[in-house]
Copies of this chain bind each other. A is one copy, B any other.
């Protein structure tokens, strides 16, 4: 979203932003689009959409069959640039596999982006009923165990911005959706060093998360294990899951480059 002020700034490269918006326009619901459809969805003139699409096509990020345009796998290289730039990304995955082997539940790693958590790694369990999340998936931070863990790790000024901007919404009957109770929950998360969330995102879903810190004790990411309320009691999550998670987070931290 470009603002009027940004448009007038000589340091703002509008054609880069518009080109990225063209990429983002493609999705599950619009995987193949004509030039006119891209122009419409990206809010561009046909002439501008054509220049962006031809440029993306020439560079291998998109292709066309003459009528429809679609994205090419080279777009994944962009996301891969981000993932491979995360210091914990490579070291975390074998450690997360150990967590899944020990607990037989899926293990995920995420980072904060505004009011969302974004999954950067996930090792699913072999269970039939698992959750359809993968790298790049987003969930609201305020009602997830990883989200509250990451919020608890923010410097006070950044946390204040989050509180100013967050839209609370009851996603289940258990969602903590009032500001006082949410602040209490995030404070508790900071004091305890872990966050347990019981069916606030979806009924039946429970998860527990711990922070992954760097050598300066800053929170880089959150690591969690999620389960079904019928499979694991809250007590079992604290006595059996939590020590495994804390140990894994410690091993990831210890493996980080200095």
A residues lining the B interface (CB < 8 Å): 6, 10-13, 15-20, 23-28, 30-32, 50-52, 54-56, 58-61, 70-87, 89-90, 93, 97, 100-101, 111, 113-114, 118, 120, 123-124, 126, 128, 130, 132, 134-137
Contact = CB atoms under 8 A, between A and B. Distances in A.
A233 B59 CA distance: 42
B54 A11 contact: yes
B75 A81 contact: yes
A227 B31 CA distance: 33
Contacts of A85: 26-28, 30-32, 70-71
Contacts of A50: 11
14 contacts: A11-B54, A12-B58, A16-B18, A20-B59, A20-B78, A26-B81, A32-B85, A60-B113, A60-B114, A78-B79, A83-B136, A97-B126, A101-B126, A101-B128
Would you list the 9 A-B pairs with minimal beta carbon distance, nearest first?
A79-B79, A16-B19, A31-B85, A80-B136, A75-B82, A73-B118, A28-B84, A76-B136, A71-B82
B136 A52 contact: no
Contacts of A51: 10-13
A72 B13 CA distance: 18
Nearest to A119: B76
Nearest to A111: B73
A244 B181 CA distance: 51
A149 B42 CA distance: 36
A8 to B, nearest CB: 13
Contact of A77 (B61, B124, B128, B136): B136
A11 B35 CA distance: 14
Given A72-B113, A76-B135, A12 B81 contact: no
Nearest to A31: B85
B55 A12 contact: yes
A81 B26 CA distance: 6
Contacts of A113: 60, 72-74
A80 B70 CA distance: 13
B123 A124 contact: yes
A24 B136 contact: no
Contacts of A10: 51
Nearest to A32: B85
Contacts of A123: 124
Contact of A27 (B28, B73, B81): B81
A120 B6 contact: no
A101 B125 CA distance: 10
